[in-house]
Amino acid sequence: MKKALSVAVAALILTLSVPAAAQSSTFNLGRGLDIEYSILKSLARSYVDTIDYTKMITKGVEAMLETLDPYTVYIPEEATDNFAMMTTGNYGGCGALIRKRTDGPVVIFEPYANSPAVKCGLEPGDEIWEIDGKTVVGETSDKATDRMKGQPGTDVKFKVFKGRTRDTVEVVLRRERIHISSIEYAAMIRDSIGFVAISGFTDKMTDELRKTVLRLKEQGARRLVIDLRDNGGGVMSEAVRMAGLFLPKGTLVVSSKGRDPKQNQEYRTTEEPIDTLIPILVMVNSSSASASEIFAGAMQDLDRGTIAGRRTYGKGLIQSVVPTPYNGNLKITTGKYYTPSGRCVQAIDYSHRNEDGSVGFVPDSLKKEFKTKNGRTVYDGGGITPDIEVKSAFYSRPTVALTYAGIPGDFSLEYYKTHPQIAPAAEFHLTDAEYEEFVAFASAKEFDARSGAEAVLDNLTQAAEQDGLYEQFKGEIEALKSKIKMDKSAMLRLKKAEILPILEADIVVKYYYPGSGTAIQLRVDKQLDGALDKWLNQ
């Protein structure tokens, strides 16, 4: 009795020493786990059919995490290779982008330069029908990709139908560690301006950028454009290292704050810069996120670079990776990051975003004012607002539909099969006759070629029918339809100026590897041209 009383008193003291909120949180957690375990136990004992517990529990975990922020996610063991590729740019495999329909072969779409695929003679348009003696027909793209990947140094055997010669051959490929460079394209533009397009922030990408910038300076670059448009970010430490190429050693680039005091840190440059004076223009858009915003925000706050384009995505959250049992990982949001002036670029509200996911309208009353190193005024509220705002390129509805359907890519494969070589990337142009070949090719494919006006009119017709008004206005509606309706061929010719650079870029990468298509896009990049004109005249 005395011992039981002592235990009860100890329990009471412990309860009184824990805050009520913590008690409630702990109780709710335990209650929830009890309920979940009870449900799983009942299903295991009584459910009529066989249960795939791995699938069900993974779905449950994913649904649970969806109640938090969009970036806290569970990465099961089977997805760890893809996660490693996103953070390091490395994976073990063949080194080629592929296309795959379930009822067809694996099609080599774009091999990487110096990859095992190139070394063993695989080319764009080649079709892989068997992997290690087993057909790929009936497999999903993911399944075929998994079989093509493997430990570096191991062999994989393909049965290949060659696109150019139409021969069927066996190819033995030795897998290697594939590195996908984050430096997508680099070249001189406008005589004395070096241009670098960066697709992501992977481990050690700053070492590549250092070499690239030094090479451009040797070629005469006296100004530098760093293009982070559509760069979704990556490893935060690389954003800090990248800023360190252009800022004095020891400069604060970003700070973080979180629930755990260990998250409250300052991140400063730790290496000697290569140039602290060269004028820099940083191009961004609504898809520039995370590490891109860290770099752009630091360059803006420290008045080291001019930011141009459109307001960035607004992701100011830091994720840490925590291992889970059975070789999985939990990518969990553990803090927010702040630019040198003290701004948090995280969008104030997850729910009010544009269609592309970027920051929606933020009232002035919710914005706070901050000052750059030289006293310029900048604001928080979500994303980095450019110093020079220039509209992004607009693509019409038919062009988007055409591209989404992959038709320019399909034509580029056919073009590659019948053209052994083409002019250098920056000089390549399709002839009018070749574009007409594309028009005939695309017109025979399935895609929604309606103009925006025609799509709106179709919706109007449907609404009129639902409201019982169609018969009353049928004459006017049908007359308008007949005036604006175009067949596919006419629409493809009308939108040639939009479609042609996309098509030419798709063809160029088949010959000169991924990234080379940027040379084509730069010829029609009105956003960059507009930003350069304003920057050079400041």
Q: Catalytic residue among 126, 301, 387, 506, which? A: 301
Q: Catalytic residue among 290, 292, 412, 516, which? A: 290
DSSP 366: G
CB neighbour class for 347 (10 Å; exposed up to 12, middle 13-18, buried from 19): buried
CB neighbour class for 511 (10 Å; exposed up to 12, middle 13-18, buried from 19): buried
SS3 386: coil
Look up 392 and say whether it is catalytic.
no
CB neighbour class for 135 (10 Å; exposed up to 12, middle 13-18, buried from 19): exposed
Look up 301 and say whether it is catalytic.
yes
The dihedral region occupied by 494, where left means phi > 0, alpha psi between -120 and 50, and beta the remainder, is alpha
Q: Catalytic residue among 315, 417, 488, 495, which? A: 315
Q: Give the separation between CA 210 and CA 220, rounded to whole angstroms.
A: 16
Q: Give the separation between CA 161 and CA 170, rounded to whole angstroms.
A: 9
Task: Find all residues with CB under 8 Å of 66, minimum gap 6, and list them.
Answer: none
What is the amino acid identity at position 251? Answer: T
Q: Give the separation between CA 345 and CA 233, rounded to whole angstroms.
A: 14
Give me the half-sphere count of Cα atoms (radius 13 Å) on the Cβ side of residue 28: 6
Output the six-digit token pair for 372. Answer: 């750059």
| Closest C-alpha among 142, 164, 53, 165 to residue 413 | 164
Look up 42 and say whether it is catalytic.
no
The b-or-e profile of 380-407 (16+ CB within 10 A means b, else e) is: bbbbbbbbbebeeeeeebbbebbbeeeb
DSSP 8: H
Positions annotated as catalytic residues are 290, 301, 315
